[in-house]
Amino acid sequence: MIIAAASADEARAERLKQALLDRGVRAVLSAEVGVAEKKARLFVLSSPAALKCQTLNNFLEDFTWSHGMRHIHIVGVETERPVLPMALRAERRSNGSFWTLPRPPVIGALYNDETSVEIIADEIAHECSSDAGITLARTVASSVAHRPLATGLATACALLLGVTVWQADQISAYQDEAAQAQAFTSRLLTDITENLPRAASQETLIRLADELTRTYLETSVAGLSDDELGRRARLFNLIGEARDVHGQPEEAREAFLAAFEMTEALLNRAPNNLQRVYDHAQSAYWVGNQAYRSGDIATAGDYMDIYAELAETLVAREPDNPSYQAERGYAALNLGVIDLDTGNPVSATALFEEAVDIFENGLIEAHVIGLSDLGNTLGWLADAQRDAGALRDALATRERELSLYRQDLEQSPGVSRLLLNVAHTQGEIAGIATELGEDERSAELLDEALDTVNALFTQSPENDSYGRIYVQLIYQRARLAMSRGEMVRAQLLIGEARRLAARTNESVENDTLYLTRTWAMTLAGELALRAGSYETAIVEATQAISAGEKSIANGKEIARSALANAYYVRGQALSALGRQGEAETMYRSALNQLGMIAEPRRLAAADLESRIYWRLGDIAQAMQVRRALEARGYASRGFTQFWDEIDQADTAQAAPYQGG
């Protein structure tokens, strides 16, 4: 087992480690081991110092990224109801939204005496010897703790593991009593939101949610005390999170909206209370976040606007508060993500620039945000600049992002999350460099990124994040190799992509594998096409089309560009065999897929579109798209080669007859 603690708690961690060693339990400190031991349990000493210890939080982020939350347990320091370190509360997803992590069980607390060390060591040793799994809860505090604002007003919901029959019966009995006596309502809410029995779970809350929703939404909030209303708001946030995790988006929205109305009522009672402004902003954020992840961008925008207005109120009241400034930055970031998703890269660029300016104004030094938060924001800014056609600006922004991640990695060497950030950003820079015609630089970056992710993936082949980025990098590098005529390198890369595409997925979630297969088979088809093996190219492209359609059916819209390429490759092969009618059908199918990609599209999509128009004989449209790309500085090798060949053919046809 691994013990992780802040530097201020090292003495306690050492005493616990020695006590466990004395009991025959193999124990090490986090500084003594990496995160490769997937079977190891992690015990985190949670104290006020842990909230601010960057080294500890980096280790925890890396552990949860690689192995999830199921092996983690909490040991409080001087309290059995500790506030968890930032990395164990919520994570920001790549789409800008936050996802609350399930709260690990608390097994007890270490106090400033040897007795508590012995008690905790005895309990851990007993559980390890009985192989009791991960239900180590002795005393669990499930109060909703406020994350220190780096979560964008995320709350840490108590979503714990396991439930006994007695506990379920006890809570059901609470419900019966609540129905009989209004006075017991307060006790029920207190029990659920503050003193939930140990080892209670998401499933328990889901079972209660329907009854609680009916009971409390039918009750007017007018006569409730502030404390009672606050408890109900926290309860509905818990219910919303539990329903969201369990795939019930509509019911989750209902619960988050109920919490929003309750915090709004509390704010109306005391409009000058900053804590109530904060709490209401928190509710607005969660409604908007849930709507965004459900694809309801309009509703997400409405509630993120409210979130932004409340963040401005906080800053107006306390302009020197760095935490409130961070909220204003996250509000701008979230609104920028929504603008980018709705096809407005110019306004998104302005919002992302505003967020960057705020974050760079001393917030890292104040430990309100981390380097990775600023890096993530720069990544969004680069995407907006790239979608707006400002390739040089996007390249410079990505280089700033890469510099931050490397700086972060220097402070925490070997952290897989940071290594992955570096590799992903290198891939993004390589993509922009390819579009600008800087192939040598692109190849160097992709090779370095591939080496990094290959090492991570080899160590943890079950990690879908590693596998997905690995295949994306292979796809980029193989296409670059083919455009440069490096066919042997391309063939080796395609072989690796095919190997990954043939993997089985133990969790039976095949959407990522279908996407992998689309990329791999499209590459194989392109390679066969270049080799003149047209029948083979048709077979490979047909398999890519099948996998791409399944990937899109599973919600992977990113597959549309790969699917369009697969149709295009099949069309080229059919055309080479003289089957022009079938080829034209493939080209139109490719155009259809490109047309369904949400605006703004990447320039590579317009590149493919220009070639398809040309092959369909729509010369005017093809030239219009070509000129627009050239005006933006687009100069990928495949694009320039295609049009150079067209231009040379036109010149040859236009040359005067020489005779002879």
The full DSSP string for 478-503 is HHHHHHTT-HHHHHHHHHHHHHHHT-
Please tell me the predicted confidence (pLDDT) of residue 333: 94
| pLDDT confidence bin for 510, thresholds 50/70/90 | very low
Q: Average pLDDT, stretch 296-311?
A: 93
Query: Does an H or E element contain 605, and which?
Result: helix 603-615
Please tell me the predicted confidence (pLDDT) of residue 469: 87
| pLDDT confidence bin for 402, thresholds 50/70/90 | very high
Please tell me the predicted confidence (pLDDT) of residue 170: 36
Burial class of residue 617 in the structure, from the number of CB atoms within 10 Å of its CB (0-12 exposed, 13-18 middle, 19+ buried): exposed
Please state, in angstroms and rounded to a whole number, the distance separating the CA atoms of residues 45 and 28: 13
Please tell me the predicted confidence (pLDDT) of residue 389: 84
Listed residue (57, 52, 4) closest to 31, CA to CA: 4
> What's the mean per-residue pLDDT of the chain?
79
Name, of 208-212, 463-467, 606-610, the range with top average pLDDT: 606-610
Please tell me the predicted confidence (pLDDT) of residue 99: 55
> Is the pLDDT score of 178 beyond 70?
no
Domains and CATH numbers, the chain: 2-141 (3.40.50), 146-317 (1.25.40)
> Is the pLDDT score of 272 beyond 60?
yes
Please state, in angstroms and rounded to a whole number, the distance separating the CA atoms of residues 321 and 12: 33
Please state, in angstroms and rounded to a whole number, the distance separating the CA atoms of residues 214 and 506: 39
| pLDDT confidence bin for 609, thresholds 50/70/90 | very high
Please tell me the predicted confidence (pLDDT) of residue 206: 57
| pLDDT confidence bin for 596, thresholds 50/70/90 | confident
Please tell me the predicted confidence (pLDDT) of residue 185: 40
Q: How many CA atoms lie within 13 A of 593 on its CB side?
A: 24
Distances (CA, A) of 498 to 128, 400, 515, 609: 41, 34, 12, 27
> Is the pLDDT score of 189 beyond 50?
no
User: Who has greater pLDDT, 153 or 469?
Assistant: 469
| pLDDT confidence bin for 190, thresholds 50/70/90 | very low
> 77 forms bridges with which residues in the sheet?
110
Burial class of residue 644 in the structure, from the number of CB atoms within 10 Å of its CB (0-12 exposed, 13-18 middle, 19+ buried): exposed
Considering only 421-435, 448-462, 575-589, 611-625, which range has the smallest mean pLDDT? 448-462
| pLDDT confidence bin for 503, thresholds 50/70/90 | low
Please tell me the predicted confidence (pLDDT) of residue 197: 41
Please state, in angstroms and rounded to a whole number, the distance separating the CA atoms of residues 92 and 202: 21
Name, of 32-41, 164-173, 501-510, 533-542, the range with top average pLDDT: 533-542
The 8-class DSSP code of residue 368 comes to S
Please state, in angstroms and rounded to a whole number, the distance separating the CA atoms of residues 561 and 564: 5
Q: How many CA atoms lie within 13 A of 180 on its CB side?
A: 6
Please tell me the predicted confidence (pLDDT) of residue 160: 26
Q: Locate 5 and state its tokens.
A: 């603690």
Please tell me the predicted confidence (pLDDT) of residue 618: 94
Q: Average pLDDT, stretch 93-115?
A: 69
- Residues of the chain with pLDDT > 90, as a percent, come to 34
> Is the pLDDT score of 542 beyond 90?
yes
Q: Average pLDDT, stretch 85-93?
A: 66
